[in-house]
Structure 1
């Protein structure tokens, strides 16, 4: 173990298409000691996404109400389109019960968490190369060509934020990246 095992909030962020969701899912499936906050979003579900498992899919009005009532630890509008946010009460309850928490969020959200909870550990998930990031984004096939270009433009800005983070993990392989994150959280490696 590399740090204290005292549970605290860990934030995982990085550029679009770097594999945050895939790495988080791997951790969810292989490291049961990690608690994941489920974000709220105003976008529609993608194929295979489930309400309350991947996201809480809410209307713009519901999201506005949560922001207005200061019920969000962090939130952001992503790709000038949809809003995503972490509900504060869920994180507070998990911390109070002694859980190791992992938030998979975007760069804007990571900055908000840093401001409101400076003790949080911020991990930047980086691609092995720019070419690999482009390949992953295009290979997903979930966005139009215009959306892909917008995400790549955003990714260039997001990559420049790496120095703001406490640690960087390169996502060469999902299992390796997950184990590095688990070690940074102060948890035990598995033989996965």
Structure 2
């Protein structure tokens, strides 16, 4: 992918909650780990920040197909697996920042934890501010403290889980299908939060690969 920033690709219409990988081969997983490591190292070595900027803007410009092909099948708690989850979070917020802001604010109000503080969004956060937040978190992966960036993303997920769960309860009596969708979203984000937290721990001891 490093030499393919110029190549436009199809932006998928698949919803965030349905974006999953297929079963991959051993060779595909080897390539996933190699490309993830190379991209992170390249961005961190580029003092100009240009590589990081291009990686942060990649899905907005080119979609997520290439990233999915490389990383969607990687183990959840791995470098490519963590990057895949971060890009999915970014895509979900960029594509529907209004819903993201609604769920985040509801979660911030309901959740009795420091997760909203760790995530670092304003209170309350506008849709535009959440777009900035997720881009800032992704920038931390490529230019800052990688583990802190993962922990911020995990905290963001937990706030969203709380919001999606409570809004699902609101819809349960009148719009059961919408409630089911929100519950599924909460379940997936909960898994993301756990995966990203575990990945952060491994990164801190030099074992995330």
Report the TM-score, using the length of structure 1 for normalisation. 0.30
Between Structure 1 and Structure 2, the one with more helix by share is 2
Larger radius of gyration: 2
Between Structure 1 and Structure 2, the one with more strand by share is 1
Report the TM-score, using the length of structure 2 for normalisation. 0.28
Structure number with the bigger relative contact order (C-alpha 8 A, sep ≥ 6) is: 1
